[in-house]
Amino acid sequence: MSDVAKLLVGSAVERMEDARFLSGSGYFADDLAVEGMLHAAILRSPIAHARIASIDASAALAMPGIHAVITAHDIGDTIPIIPLRLAPLPEFEPFRQPVIARDKVRYVGEPIAIVVADSRALAEDALETIGIEFDALSAVTERGASETPLFDFAKDNVALRYDAGFGDADAAFASAHYVRTERFSVQRHTALPMETRGMLAEWNSLAGRLVVTGATKVTFYNRRALAQMLGLREDDIDLIEIDVGGGFGVRGEFYPEDFLIPFAARKLARPVKWIEDRREHLMAINHSRDVACELSLACRSDGMILGLRGRVFADMGAYIRTNGGVVPAKAAQFLPGPYRIPHVSVSVEAFMTNKTPVGTYRGPGRFEANFFRERLIDMAAIDLGIDIAEFRRKNLITEQELPYPIDGLVPYEGPTSYDTGDYVEVFERALKEIGWFEKSHLQGKLIDGVRHGIGLGCFVESGGAGPKENAALTLEKDGSLTVAVGSSVLGQGLETVLGQIASDTLSIPFDRIRVLHGSTTLLDEGFGTYHSRAVVMGGSAVLDAATRLREKILQQASNHLGRPNSELKIVNANVIADNGASVSFAALAAGHDLQADGTFSNDVRTYSYGTHAAHVTVDPRTGAVKVLDYIAVEDVGRAINPAIVHGQAIGAIVQGLGGVFLDHLIYDEQGQLLNASLADYLVPTASDFPVLRAVTLELRPSPSNPLGAKGAGEGGIVAVAAATANAVAAALAPLNVEIHHLPLTPPRLWRLIKNARERTTNAA
Amino acid sequence: MKLPPLDYICPATLTEAIAALAAYGGNAKVIAGGQSLVPMLAFRLAAPSVLVDIGRLPDLKNISISADGIDFGALVTWRDIERDARLAQAHPLLAAAIAHVAHYQIRNRGTVGGSMAHADPAAEMPGIAVTCDAMLTIVGPTGTRIVRANEFITGGLSTVLGADEILTSIRLPLWKKARRWAFEEFARRRGDFALAGVAAFYDIDAQGLAYNAHIGLIGVADRPMRLPGVEAILDGRRIDADVILQAAAVARDAVDPADDIHAEAAYRRDLLGVLLERALARAADIVLPEAA
């Protein structure tokens, strides 16, 4: 490599994307426009559970500017089913979602028909004229409502149950000095990327080829799924990724529209564009969280944890979509967290309701599990009279105990172990940052009408899922470098990070690098972006390709300069020999194709870890919570770009605070979604939580990849509910209030305080 | 979320605008800043056949202060109020209330007249108008009429405005200099609609006793409301902690809010009591004993 002082990896390089975004030159799905383009709008079920008796689209078809109304009938005898991308357990197969409702609707928002028109406005006008007769069925909106199965083949609405664990939890609990059991829950909410979904599908009937622009996340997987549904060869479909305004897990999975819009384009032989509007988004995008847990902890009297038992109950909504049971499985797997708990038993129950299906959202299962466990740890520590920080310190896994196996918590996954780290050091750092010792006298204290509380939340979190990622690097004729990668860009700064890696390896200036990503046209095979894997896997693939290309460049230069490789070095896109002779990359590329493929295969996950701490005040009269200070400390192994990692962390904390205080998808008893707009679905904005801090550490690199990087996109969110809810609970402890359920809205806290007061009064 | 099919006209004079409204009967809708109407159109909750844009009408964008009161043209925006340096003195209660209205983009476009005509029960301007006995000028085909704010709003999102009438201005009575006042509002996020809000003022006589108390609420009923029972408690009294707590207790009993997805009714009822206590304490410049 070149001069160490000039390495970009590890430095806060300004994002190459920023000029484009800040100047309004981003290129998003709704910027797409081509000649002859038509617009689609989707008729979505207005009721939660019903049989469809009839659909009458004749009035719509008679309207000017309407090209087609497509229903299940037009799609054929067999309606394609959306596959399980992750954890394809056989139990879930019958609960998968057809791309359009034919005989029955199972949630408000389920597609029933699509209208294709000259404009979106005309398409929406036509939607209003389509007559549907429903035979309404009673809506299932909660666990245990089994009298109305959603699926005719099923005897009840439970899709899956399993038990997992290690050690002997029963024995541990039987012998424990102290046991406490509590029930917790996290409300249904979603990621809400600012850019809703959208795509343009273009069918070339002469060539028999389909191009879909606006794809992201797992484009190669989605192409395979789409090819099967449309009866096309995979290489007759291109999925093109352009700029993406946020993903957070929900954007880019295979949704019904990912079939319906291409189907319409092929049927009409016209380009068809569809942009999800915000109201649709709230009812159509994957919902998430919505997990309840009965959690028990068994301890010795000195606070050493002996065992943990957790029963996880997950409302999966009306269908099992691409993510299968990842949300509840991870909620169960991460219940023990970064603690030494020898005996663990967990169970998972995934049940179906007449609500929008659930998928993964940033920190799936972890956000919930950390909240459940960290809350119970505070309760146990207080019961046992042990300082809540000391309780954690005592039970955190020490570095000497790593790697620490956590096998057997997810039945469909192989053995896995927490890899490297110093959990205790990071914990102590968070205490120092929040001023734990200085502020301990504030716990629960009433000052100027508000009560203070400081809370902690520890976590460990997996990232970097395999199996593999690919990259291809090309030295262009002008001496610039093109990096193509199978990872997807979701607005997270991946182009910059991959550019840094390539720049260092090839000693080529950063501004001479162009990063192409995600599209299926770039590579034979790609795996995409989820599970905080894009740097770990995609970055390592780029590093591999860059190393190979470097060898090719040196070999070519050796031929050109007549000097052996050992006498050559690369400086600023020139190869220079010991004798002073040199040749530029451009000159080398002019005469030869200089291209290299790279790949990185790995099934060993990375485990980043950290501690969050929050200092809040609660106005006990209104229930209003103010976050006075927040610190997230995380060891990510290696931060390729500290500024980007910092931004990821701060953004994730804000998003997590939304999940604690604001975001809430609310259904009534009829299964109606009551959030129709962002006036009803509250998301945190940039000014709502002004005092947030994040410290990124690089204490222990990952041993599983050459960059040493661990997943860094989710550690900022996974412990937010844990730390914040503990802080609120600490503030309200003098009022005998305990926190079990999110969100912590002012009316809910007010109600808890009032009920606690009435209990106290009645008891007295 | 595209607008339903409709026509659009943009008259140059008030007479033309009224004529247009009359011509379309009940099928026309006046649009000013569009901050409430456009979302309703996009959600297809409203489907007029024509929009009559009053944005180009002359003389509706002024704020004028005279011996008769403070006049706001219907097209005055929240930003106009915020930027008018006179209002901090001329009507501090209004200035304080308007600081809570929505977000930047909305503040730049939303209008005083639009807010009154939309009559959202949680909106600040109708609350201030009702609290302060504002007089509203309405122009129709047969001429001009003046309506008191509390008679203007007839229920949730409904007013006395006829289909062929336009609200042209709002007059707030002049503000007395030594007046005691406060505005308290509680919303989930800054700029959101209030879960509850209190506008309060009273004057002090030579003996230090309150008179002319005006207490208005937003967000706890289908329309902004006054609390005459609380006003009666305050008038003729020295405003101290006891009076304030008594007033808040009466206020809690005087309202009957509804449950919605943002809050249960009991919360709103209690919240408005807390807000009233805080407003009156601030107006009287006293510190209430700290509750737990």
DSSP class per residue in A442-458: GTT-EETTEEEEEEEEE
What are the residues facing B159 on neighbouring strands?
Answer: B153
Rounded to whole angstroms, how far apart are CA atoms B36 and B112? 12
Each residue's pLDDT tens digit, B60-89: 999 999 999 999 999 999 999 999 999 999
Q: Mean pLDDT over residues A365-379, rounded? A: 98
Each residue's pLDDT tens digit, A112-164: 999 999 999 999 999 999 999 999 999 999 998 878 999 999 999 999 999 99
Inspect the interface and report whether the beta carbons of A124 and B189 lie closer than 8 Å.
no
CB nearest to A685's CB, from B189, B193, B291 = B189
Residue B189 is encoded by which pair of tokens? 């996020």
CB nearest to B264's CB, from A446, A687, A747 = A747
Inspect the interface and report whether the beta carbons of A621 and B261 lie closer than 8 Å.
no
- Which pLDDT score is estimated for B25? 87
The mean pLDDT of chain A is 96
Q: Could you tell me if A480 and A357 are in contact, meaning their C-beta atoms sit under 8 angstroms apart?
A: no
Pick the CATH number of B63-172 from 2.70.98.60, 3.90.79.10, 3.30.465.10, 3.40.50.1100: 3.30.465.10
> From the CA of A184, how many Å to the nearest CA of chain B?
21
Inspect the interface and report whether the beta carbons of A662 and B261 lie closer than 8 Å.
no
Each residue's pLDDT tens digit, A296-312: 999 999 999 999 999 99
The mean pLDDT of chain B is 96
Report whether pLDDT(A10) > 70. Answer: yes
CB nearest to B43's CB, from A676, A684, A750 = A676
Instruction: Classify B281 in phi/psi space as left (phi over 0), alpha (psi -120 to 50) or beta.
Output: alpha
Return the residue matching tokens 């294709």.
Answer: A116
Inspect the interface and report whether the beta carbons of A124 and B186 lie closer than 8 Å.
no
Rounded to whole angstroms, how far apart are CA atoms A188 and A359? 11
Residues of B in CB contact (< 8 Å) with A are 1-5, 39, 43-44, 186, 188-190, 192-193, 195, 261-264, 266-267, 270-271, 274, 290-292
Pick the CATH number of B7-53 from 3.40.1190.20, 3.20.20.70, 3.30.43.10, 3.40.50.2020: 3.30.43.10
H or E stretch at A116: strand A111-117
Return the residue matching tokens 């734990």.
Answer: A436
Each residue's pLDDT tens digit, A713-734: 999 999 999 999 999 999 999 9
CB nearest to A682's CB, from B189, B263, B267 = B189
- Which pLDDT score is estimated for A6? 73
* Sheet with A131-136: strands ordered across: A104-105, A50-56, A131-136
Report whether pLDDT(B12) > 90. Answer: yes
Q: H helices then E strands: how many in chain A?
A: 19, 29
- Which pLDDT score is estimated for B232? 98
Rounded to whole angstroms, how far apart are CA atoms B283 and A110? 53
Q: Given CB atoms, is A118 within the 8 Å cutoff of chain B?
A: no
| Cβ neighbourhood burial of A117 (10 Å; 0-12, 13-18, 19+) | buried
Inspect the interface and report whether the beta carbons of B4 and A682 lie closer than 8 Å.
no
Inspect the interface and report whether the beta carbons of B5 and A677 lie closer than 8 Å.
no
Q: Given CB atoms, is A277 within the 8 Å cutoff of chain B?
A: yes
- Which pLDDT score is estimated for A70? 98
> From the CA of B48, how many Å to the nearest CA of chain A?
14
List CB contacts (< 8 A) between B273 and chain A. none
Pairing label, strands B135-140, B143-148: antiparallel
Domains of chain A (ranges plus CATH)?
Answer: 4-27+466-601 (3.30.365.10), 32-137+196-244+251-284 (3.90.1170.50), 288-410+418-464+605-763 (3.30.365.10)
How large is the angle between the packed helices A720-732 and A366-384, nearest 10 degrees?
A: 30
Inspect the interface and report whether the beta carbons of B292 and A277 lie closer than 8 Å.
no
> From the CA of A57, how many Å to the nearest CA of chain B?
19
> From the CA of A452, how many Å to the nearest CA of chain B?
12
Inspect the interface and report whether the beta carbons of A124 and B2 lie closer than 8 Å.
yes
* Chain B: residue whose CA lies nearest to A123: B2
- Which pLDDT score is estimated for A1? 43
- Which pLDDT score is estimated for A761? 86
Q: A550-554, A687-691, B90-94: which range is least confident on average?
A: A687-691
Inspect the interface and report whether the beta carbons of A666 and B262 lie closer than 8 Å.
no
CB pairs under 8 A between A and B: 69
In 10 A of CB A471, how many CB atoms? 33
Q: Could you tell me if A310 and A184 are in contact, meaning their C-beta atoms sit under 8 angstroms apart?
A: no
Rounded to whole angstroms, how far apart are CA atoms A728 and A538? 40
Q: For residue A4, what pLDDT band results from cuts at 50, 70 and 90?
A: very low
- Which pLDDT score is estimated for B289? 83
| Greatest distance between any 2 Cα atoms in chain B | 64
For residue A655, the one-letter residue type is: Q
List CB contacts (< 8 A) between B44 and chain A. 124, 128
Query: String of b and e for A147-174 (b: at least 16 CB within 10 Å)?
Result: eebbbeeeebbbbbebebbbbebeebbe
- Which pLDDT score is estimated for A5? 44
Q: Given CB atoms, is A146 within the 8 Å cutoff of chain B?
A: no
Pairing label, strands A582-584, A594-601: unpaired
* Chain A: residue whose CA lies nearest to B277: A621
List CB contacts (< 8 A) between A119 and chain B. 2
Q: Mean pLDDT over residues A478-484, rounded? A: 97
Which three-class secondary structure state does DSSP give residue A50? Answer: strand
What is the ipTM for the molecules in this complex?
A: 0.96
- Which pLDDT score is estimated for A3? 45
Inspect the interface and report whether the beta carbons of B263 and A278 lie closer than 8 Å.
no
- Which pLDDT score is estimated for B291? 65
* Chain B: residue whose CA lies nearest to A750: B267
Reported in sequence order, the residue ranges of B143-289 that DSSP labels E, i.e. its strands, are: 143-148, 153-155, 158-159, 166-172, 180-186, 196-204, 210-218, 225-226
* Chain B: residue whose CA lies nearest to A449: B290
Q: A46-50, A142-146, A199-203, A271-275: which range is least confident on average?
A: A142-146
Contacts for A740 with CB less than 8 Å, ≥ 6 apart: A182, A183, A184, A185, A375
Which three-class secondary structure state does DSSP give residue B109? Answer: helix
Q: How far is CA B82 from CA A256, B75, B94, B108, B201, in A?
A: 47, 14, 10, 10, 20
3-state DSSP percent of chain B in helix, strand and coil, to 5: 35, 25, 40
For residue B167, the one-letter residue type is: L
CATH superfamily, region B180-284: CO dehydrogenase flavoprotein, C-terminal domain (3.30.390.50)
Q: For residue A2, what pLDDT band results from cuts at 50, 70 and 90?
A: very low
Q: For residue A591, what pLDDT band results from cuts at 50, 70 and 90?
A: confident
CB nearest to A121's CB, from B3, B39, B267 = B3
Residue A758 is encoded by which pair of tokens? 């009435």
> What residue ranges do the domains of chain B occupy?
7-53, 63-172, 180-284
Return the residue matching tokens 């520590």.
Answer: A381
* Chain B: residue whose CA lies nearest to A625: B188
Q: Given CB atoms, is A682 within the 8 Å cutoff of chain B?
A: yes
Q: Given CB atoms, is A755 within the 8 Å cutoff of chain B?
A: no
Residue B278 is encoded by which pair of tokens? 């805080």
